[in-house]
Amino acid sequence: MKVVMLWRYYPAQYEYFYSKYPQALTLSYSQHRNLFFSEHFGWPSELAQLMNTIGIQTEFLVINDEILQYKWAVENGLVIGSKDNWEQEIVLAQIKSIRPNVVWISSLDLCGAFAYQLKHYCDKIILWVGSPFVKTADVGGASVLITENPATLQAIHHVFERVIVTKPGFDEQLLPMLQNVKKEYDVSFVGTLSPAHQSRVDTLSYLHQKGVMVDAFANRQFPKKPSFSNLIRGMASFLLKEKSITKASVVLQKWLDNNHKARRAQILETFCKPPLFGLEMYRVLAASSITLNIHIDCAQGNVGNMRLFESTGVGACVITEHGANIAELFEPDKEIITYKSKEEMVEKITYLLEHRALASEIGLAGQQRTLRDHSVARMLHDIMPAFS
């Protein structure tokens, strides 16, 4: 059985990686990719390595790293026909070269026409979608959906041969690398902040206003403050040309909403630190007495994102929203702390900071639960039917 996993990472992760390892530019494709893997950027590559250990030949391709992928092209004599389409050209050539049984894709834009091209050189395509923000999509070519949220593409589950719901897994092999980490952060947050994460923005802003100091390491992806001149032009167009007060009001409301979000984002700029990824991220989580986990807005009350298991996996005391399915994952207030309101969150953070031994005890219990029930080995067990 041969599997190829096609994965993309955030641009900020590549900036972080090349800043930390400028020597990567001089390495061969294989050396470069191995150095990237050594940073432990998340469960996908950890899972790929585990699959190799049990006899599933797995190639993990970092498909939107232009520097790395062009190295493969040069080493394999591939001439890129289009600078605008380099990603798909190189991926298609890689799949032709490997001829896997299964291609596992992680982006909806690879479905449809491109997936049908890939199917000339493989038997099956698996699709991973990690959040339910997409209600429907062209999933042509993919026969299996794997997701962490049952609401993902729920309206078209019937078009797949199989739908597997599973949670991201934590790799316990990371723990020896974190043995000597000491607690140095009272409360931390590590993650992305963007318009799709308004709950995170609101929560961190609220904590800041209440004087709760949070060491926030954030990958910030906010649009610029909306232009007032664009507002005037937009409203004038509808008022003068179409005589529509309703449409002009919509433009004004949208501008006000975006302006409000931009102001909230500016508050975060005053105390957020640059983002961390890989081992440095795990070290900050392990060094935190308490760490905040706040789900993306579109999670629809279903908890269980990747950071939840990374944070508990390294033994931090995690505080997160009380989701409908939390009891399936952890025992609230024993293995993890949950809250139903911002006020309750502040109360619990304050109490835990005054009772550090309890925070440590909860962190250890959460870690034990993650190592038992939420490992990459458990995740692999869940998805094995996808390969048959």
- Position of tokens 């995690």? 318
Within this chain, do residues 132 and 185 fall inside the same structural domain, yes or no?
no
Q: Which of 237, 203, 155, 134 is nearest to 349 (CA)?
A: 203
CATH of the domain at 42: 3.40.50
CA-closest candidate to residue 136, choices 152, 123, 158: 152
Residue 388 CA to residue 378 CA, distance in Å, equals 17
pLDDT tens-digit profile, the chain (388 residues)? 999 999 999 898 999 999 999 999 999 999 999 999 999 999 999 999 999 999 999 999 999 999 999 999 999 999 998 888 999 999 999 999 999 999 999 999 999 999 999 999 999 999 999 866 666 789 999 999 999 988 888 889 999 999 999 999 999 999 999 999 999 999 999 988 876 678 888 899 889 889 999 999 988 755 565 565 665 666 666 666 666 666 667 666 665 666 566 666 666 767 788 999 999 999 999 999 999 998 876 656 778 889 999 999 999 999 999 988 999 999 999 999 999 999 999 999 999 999 999 999 999 999 999 999 999 999 999 999 999 8
Domain-located, residue 242: no
Number of domains in the chain: 2
Distance CA 355, CA 349 (A): 10
Instruction: Tell me whether residue 100 is in a domain.
Output: yes
Q: Write out the residue range of the structural domain in which residue 9 sits.
A: 2-169+377-387
Residue 112 and residue 176 share a domain: no
CB-CB contact of 299 with 196 (8 Å): no
Shared-domain flag, residues 142 and 196: no
Both 99 and 135 in a single domain?
A: yes
If asked whether residues 184 and 164 sit together in one domain, one would say no
